[in-house]
């Protein structure tokens, strides 16, 4: 290797480092350092913002060895998986539909994407009002049709399903956008060649479209899963975790313990549990989708 | 210093891990950092602004009290000779504690902070406020008609906040539905059950744990007082698991069993109860006098009437639950002289009369004799609330009042909706509270 080549490589290496460094530093200070501090806090007792004595795994035992803690974990998995199970197929189907040449496609895309631009607070307040059992418009129509009051938030399983469906309404547009972008990047030649070979519409979807957008779906699954595991506002505003803790997820509990009751150590332990669950579930998704690919 | 840094970092860490909750916290994004509380009367040449954290929004015209606040700030900014300008940072009322404690952990926070009196102890323990005893004692002495004495406001020998308004919790009824008003809680149960129809509930208590179960506590406390009980003893030990507490939960259950309330109250917060009343789907509720302006902003307002919360004994109302919005000096206030000077603007006769017009009860008793006040359209309401308020006193709750409230409402939910034994439920909350505090 000539000296000139070596110098060039050395320069390229440093230029790469300079470009990557801001991102690495940002991740380090905004994600890694807070996580390390949260882990440290979770091992201590606290009084408001003050960190007190080391208590070891006391807070983790409080989560993992109590019915309350497992109820939160169950609610979290149900909320995340229930939402994903509806959001991904719905987002993909809507994207495939909107990828066709339809009349008013731009208007349709705008309308469907609209929920995504709203904040969690606005969405939660909107649906809380719409579904309110006493004065909500949905309840009013329901009462007019059935003569009975609608009850969306006062029975454990109905409340769980309600928050999942509201979450689906709120978040499926991002899956739609990602999938639509992936669909538009598939070369049309592939479809034309398959058609020449006698492929049906179903074959085109299952054998060309779906495999081509699989990486995007995986990205969407991981992204949405992480978002659902960490979601607080939507549930907090709609149900505050009730009725009877049926919608109290780990992230909501972490928020309440940390910022309402000021049990910062316990709140931090809950946030570490969320982090671990995010890692575990992401690994599971990647493995499942890779295995299928293999 | 290291501990402080770690504490602040810990709070940030928890917030960062809870990425999904960023939108909900409503934290004050910009606060003017200040040095530690010592020698804070020295004015800084560089920064002549005082930040005020308060639930009112001077840019809004929805709440009449916001307009009064706007006038106070403008007047202070125009008139004061020290050159300071007050900047209002408005935030939701139930987010102020969180935001202030987070800020205090990072050695910062507002110069002046407004919060609900129920949370005074939380602010003291959370390190968000500093004593204002010297200023307050002198000021209270100059205002003989102030409802509170300096001694009654002291906690551990210091005054940390001055209530600038007072409120009393009352029952509101639809007078087109209730021809006569109930004289006792038993009568309330009976009448509310009769009034319930297809369109609405005869009476509703909000039994959600949302908003720290505040709407439940606003009934639970006066009811338990009426039954001869107490929430806590002077040392903070639980007393609610008494016969009086059991009687209260049984009466709440009777409202449900009789059909006066249905399942929907389980998820109702204060705002839901209020909105249901305004919408005409609830015929009786219990909310504070300060909500009058909001309630009267309804097509049905001409049918609304308020009355003291009935007690267990016929004809004797439950002792009033009194509370109020309170102003305090932030722990890291830049200039305590200027900040306290601003606080005094809330107490002038002129300002207090403006608040009265906005259905906010004054803390200056002599104003009820003022001809301008007596000429107010809402004077009868104000006078009645003031009379009822005199049957109770403002209570300082423990710093974990929110957690206790949520535990109590969960016990009540079990009793009312799942038929659990009230004594067992209350004993269980008391046992948890005793263990927590080492009683």
- What is the structure's pLDDT at B18? 53
Number of domains, chain A: 1
User: Nearest-CA residue of chain B relative to A256?
Assistant: B403
Domain span at residue A134? 67-293
CB contacts, 8 Å: B125 with chain A:
47-48
Residue B363, pLDDT > 90, answer yes
| Residue numbers of A between 160 and 199 with CB closer than 8 Å to B | none
Banded pLDDT at B4 (limits 50, 70, 90) = low
Cα separation, A286 vs B104, whole angstroms: 42
For residues B35-62, average pLDDT = 71
| Residue numbers of A between 249 and 288 with CB closer than 8 Å to B | 251, 254-255, 258-262, 264, 267-268, 271-272, 274-275
| Each residue's pLDDT tens digit, A71-95 | 999 999 999 999 999 999 999 999 9
Question: Hey, are the CB atoms on A240 and B400 less than 8 Å from each other?
Answer: no
- What is the structure's pLDDT at A143? 87
Q: Is residue A1 part of a domain?
A: no
**3-state SS string over B172-241?**
EEECCCCCCCCCEHHHHHHHHHHHCCCCCECCECCCCCHHHHHHHHHHHHHHHHHCCCCCECCCCCECCC
Residue A191, pLDDT > 80, answer yes
Cα separation, A275 vs B237, whole angstroms: 38
Alpha-carbon separation of residue B296 from B173, B281, B289, B305, B378 (angstroms) = 12, 16, 11, 10, 11
Cα separation, B133 vs B131, whole angstroms: 6
Tell me if residue B262 falls in helix, strand or coil.
coil
Poorest-pLDDT segment among A41-45, A182-186, B276-280, B291-295: B291-295
Cα separation, A160 vs A158, whole angstroms: 5
| Each residue's pLDDT tens digit, B96-154 | 998 999 999 889 999 999 999 999 999 999 999 999 999 999 999 999 999 999 999 99
pTM metric for this prediction: 0.86
- What is the structure's pLDDT at A249? 96
Burial class of residue B43, CB neighbours in 10 A (0-12, 13-18, 19+): middle
Cα separation, B123 vs B337, whole angstroms: 21
User: What's chain B's average pLDDT?
Assistant: 88
Banded pLDDT at B7 (limits 50, 70, 90) = low
Q: Report the half-sphere exposure of B99 (CA within 13 A, side-chain side).
A: 28
Residues 6 or more apart from B174 whose CB is under 8 A from it?
B277, B280, B283, B284, B300, B303, B304, B305
Partner residue opposite B413 with nearest CB, options A135, A149, A244: A244
For residues A170-195, average pLDDT = 92
Question: Hey, are the CB atoms on A48 and B6 less than 8 Å from each other?
Answer: no
Q: Is residue A23 part of a domain?
A: no
First-to-last C-alpha distance (Å) of chain B? 33
CB contacts, 8 Å: B263 with chain A:
133, 151, 154-155
Cα separation, B334 vs B111, whole angstroms: 6
Question: Hey, are the CB atoms on A240 and B200 less than 8 Å from each other?
Answer: no
Tell me if residue B245 falls in helix, strand or coil.
helix
Question: Hey, are the CB atoms on B126 and A262 less than 8 Å from each other?
Answer: yes
Which tops the pLDDT comparison, B20 or A252?
A252
Q: Is residue A268 part of a domain?
A: yes
Which tops the pLDDT comparison, B4 or A199?
A199
> How much of chain B exceeds pLDDT 70, in percent?
90
User: What's chain A's average pLDDT?
Assistant: 91
CB contacts, 8 Å: B3 with chain A:
50-51
Cα separation, A217 vs A88, whole angstroms: 8
Banded pLDDT at A237 (limits 50, 70, 90) = very high
CB contacts, 8 Å: B212 with chain A:
260
CATH of the domain at A218: 1.10.3720.10
Banded pLDDT at B35 (limits 50, 70, 90) = very low
CB contacts, 8 Å: B266 with chain A:
153-154, 242-243
Banded pLDDT at B38 (limits 50, 70, 90) = very low
Instruction: Note whether ipTM > 0.90 here.
Output: no
**Counts of helices then strands in chain B (DSSP H, E):** 16, 12
CB contacts, 8 Å: B4 with chain A:
49
Tell me if residue B167 falls in helix, strand or coil.
strand
Question: Hey, are the CB atoms on B263 and A51 less than 8 Å from each other?
Answer: no
Report the interhelical angle of B243-257 vs B401-418 (nearest 10°).
Answer: 50
Question: Hey, are the CB atoms on B3 and A50 less than 8 Å from each other?
Answer: yes
| Each residue's pLDDT tens digit, A106-153 | 888 888 888 888 999 999 999 999 999 888 999 889 888 988 888 899
A52 touches chain B (CB under 8 A): no
Q: Is residue A136 part of a domain?
A: yes
- What is the structure's pLDDT at B1? 47
Question: Hey, are the CB atoms on B20 and A33 less than 8 Å from each other?
Answer: no
Residues 6 or more apart from A236 whose CB is under 8 A from it?
A124, A252, A255, B21, B24, B210
- Which residue(s) pair with B51 in the sheet? B87
- What is the structure's pLDDT at B10? 55
Nearest to B342 by CA among B88, B40, B35: B88
Q: Is residue A28 part of a domain?
A: no
H helices within chain A, ranges in order?
3-27, 33-42, 58-64, 67-98, 105-117, 120-130, 137-146, 156-184, 188-196, 201-203, 210-230, 233-238, 250-255, 264-293
Residue A159, pLDDT > 90, answer yes
Residues 6 or more apart from A166 whose CB is under 8 A from it?
A123, A124, A127, A234, A238
How many beta carbons lie within 10 A of that of residue A118, not counting itself? 14
- What is the structure's pLDDT at A105? 79
Residues 6 or more apart from A104 whose CB is under 8 A from it?
none
> What is the C-alpha R_g of chain A?
24
Nearest to A261 by CA among A118, A117, A48: A48
Question: Hey, are the CB atoms on B127 and A133 less than 8 Å from each other?
Answer: no
β-pairing verdict for B304-308 and B162-163: unpaired
Q: Is residue A151 part of a domain?
A: yes
Q: Which residue has the tokens 């669909």?
A: A183
Which tops the pLDDT comparison, A235 or A287?
A235
For residues B366-375, average pLDDT = 91
> How much of chain A exceeds pLDDT 70, in percent?
98
For residues B1-25, average pLDDT = 48
Alpha-carbon separation of residue B169 from B92, B128, B313 (angstroms) = 21, 27, 18
* Phi–psi pair at B262, nearest 5 degrees: -125, -170
How many beta carbons lie within 10 A of that of residue A288, not counting itself? 12
- What is the structure's pLDDT at B16? 52
Residue B206, pLDDT > 70, answer yes
Q: Is residue A135 part of a domain?
A: yes
Q: Is residue A40 part of a domain?
A: no
Closest-CA distance, A274 to chain B, in angstroms, reads 8
For residues B364-382, average pLDDT = 90
Question: Hey, are the CB atoms on A274 and B17 less than 8 Å from each other?
Answer: yes
Banded pLDDT at A294 (limits 50, 70, 90) = low
Cα separation, A177 vs A180, whole angstroms: 5
Question: Hey, are the CB atoms on B17 and A35 less than 8 Å from each other?
Answer: yes
- What is the structure's pLDDT at A46? 93
Partner residue opposite A132 with nearest CB, options B4, B7, B272: B272
* Phi–psi pair at B114, nearest 5 degrees: -115, 130
CB contacts, 8 Å: A42 with chain B:
none
Question: Hey, are the CB atoms on B13 and A239 less than 8 Å from each other?
Answer: no
Question: Hey, are the CB atoms on B16 and A239 less than 8 Å from each other?
Answer: no
Question: Hey, are the CB atoms on B208 and A240 less than 8 Å from each other?
Answer: yes
| Residue numbers of A between 236 and 255 with CB closer than 8 Å to B | 236-237, 239-244, 251, 254-255
Residues 6 or more apart from B164 whose CB is under 8 A from it?
B324, B325, B326, B327, B343, B346, B347, B355, B363
- What is the structure's pLDDT at B201? 95
| Residue numbers of A between 67 and 96 with CB closer than 8 Å to B | none
Poorest-pLDDT segment among A169-173, B15-19, B366-370, B407-411: B15-19
CB contacts, 8 Å: B201 with chain A:
134
């Amino acid at each position: 290797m000539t000296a000139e080549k070596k110098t060039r490589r050395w320069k390229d290496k440093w230029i790469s480092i300079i470009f990557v460094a801001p991102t690495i530093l940002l991740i380090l200070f905004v994600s890694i350092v807070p996580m390390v501090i949260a882990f440290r806090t979770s091992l201590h007792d606290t009084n408001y913002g003050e960190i007190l004595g080391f208590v070891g795994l006391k807070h983790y035992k409080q989560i993992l060895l109590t019915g309350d803690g497992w109820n939160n974990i169950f609610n979290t998995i149900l909320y995340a998986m229930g939402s994903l199970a509806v959001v991904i197929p719905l987002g993909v189907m809507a994207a495939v539909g909107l990828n066709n040449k339809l009349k008013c496609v731009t208007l349709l895309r705008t309308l469907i994407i609209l929920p995504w631009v709203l904040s969690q607070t606005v969405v939660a307040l909107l649906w809380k009002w719409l579904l309110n059992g006493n004065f909500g418009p949905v309840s009013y129509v329901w009462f007019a049709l059935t003569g009975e009051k609608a009850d969306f938030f006062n029975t454990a399983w109905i409340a769980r399903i309600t928050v999942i469906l509201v979450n689906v309404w709120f978040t499926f547009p991002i899956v739609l956008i990602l999938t639509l972008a992936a669909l538009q990047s598939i070369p049309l030649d592939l479809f034309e060649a398959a058609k020449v070979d006698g492929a049906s519409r179903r074959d085109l979807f299952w054998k060309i479209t779906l495999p081509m957008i699989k990486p995007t779906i995986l990205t969407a699954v991981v992204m949405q899963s992480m978002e659902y595991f960490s979601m607080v506002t939507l549930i907090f505003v709609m149900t505050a975790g009730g009725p009877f803790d049926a919608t109290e997820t780990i992230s909501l509990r972490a928020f309440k313990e940390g910022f309402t009751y000021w049990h910062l150590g316990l709140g931090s332990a809950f946030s570490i549990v969320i982090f671990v669950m995010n890692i575990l579930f992401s690994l599971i998704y990647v493995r499942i989708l890779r295995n299928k690919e293999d | 210093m290291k501990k402080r840094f770690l504490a602040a970092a810990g709070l940030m860490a928890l917030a960062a891990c809870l990425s999904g909750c960023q939108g909900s916290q409503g934290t004050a994004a910009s606060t003017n950092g200040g040095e530690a509380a010592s020698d804070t009367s020295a004015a800084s040449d560089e920064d002549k602004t005082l930040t005020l954290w308060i639930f009112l929004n001077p840019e809004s015209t929805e709440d009449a009290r916001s307009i009064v606040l706007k006038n106070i700030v403008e007047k202070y900014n125009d008139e004061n000779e020290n050159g300071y300008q007050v900047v209002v940072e408005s935030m939701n009322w139930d987010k102020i504690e969180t935001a202030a404690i987070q800020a205090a952990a990072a050695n910062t926070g507002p110069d002046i902070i407004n919060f609900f009196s129920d949370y005074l102890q939380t602010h003291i323990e959370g390190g968000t406020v500093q004593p204002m005893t010297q200023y307050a004692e002198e000021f209270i002495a100059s205002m003989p008609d102030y409802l509170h004495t300096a001694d009654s406001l002291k906690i551990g020998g210091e005054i940390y906040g001055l209530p600038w308004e007072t409120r009393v919790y009352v029952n509101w009824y639809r007078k087109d539905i209730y021809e006569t008003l109930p004289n006792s809680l038993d009568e309330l149960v009976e009448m509310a059950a009769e009034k319930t129809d297809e369109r609405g509930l005869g009476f509703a208590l909000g039994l959600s744990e949302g908003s720290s179960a505040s709407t439940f506590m606003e009934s639970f406390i006066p009811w338990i007082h009426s039954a001869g009980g107490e929430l806590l003893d002077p040392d903070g030990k639980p007393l609610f698991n008494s016969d009086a507490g059991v009687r209260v939960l049984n009466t709440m259950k009777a409202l449900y069993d009789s059909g006066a309330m249905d399942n929907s109250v389980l998820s109702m917060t204060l705002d839901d109860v209020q909105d249901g009343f305004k919408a005409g789907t609830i015929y009786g509720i219990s909310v504070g006098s300060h909500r009058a302006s909001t309630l009267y902003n309804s097509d049905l307002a001409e049918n609304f009437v308020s009355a003291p919360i009935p007690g267990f004994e016929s004809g004797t109302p439950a002792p009033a639950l009194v509370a109020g919005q309170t102003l305090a000096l932030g722990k890291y206030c830049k200039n305590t002289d200027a900040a306290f000077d601003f606080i005094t603007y809330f107490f002038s006769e002129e300002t207090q009369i403006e608040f009265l017009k906005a259905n906010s009860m004054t803390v200056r008793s002599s104003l009820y004799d003022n001809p301008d006040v007596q000429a107010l359209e809402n004077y009868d309401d104000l006078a009645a609330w003031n009379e009822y308020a005199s049957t109770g006193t403002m209570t300082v709750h423990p710093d974990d009042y929110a957690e206790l409230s949520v535990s109590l409402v969960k016990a009540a939910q079990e009793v009312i909706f799942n038929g659990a034994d009230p004594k067992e439920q209350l004993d269980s909350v008391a046992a948890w509270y005793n263990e927590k505090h080492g009683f």
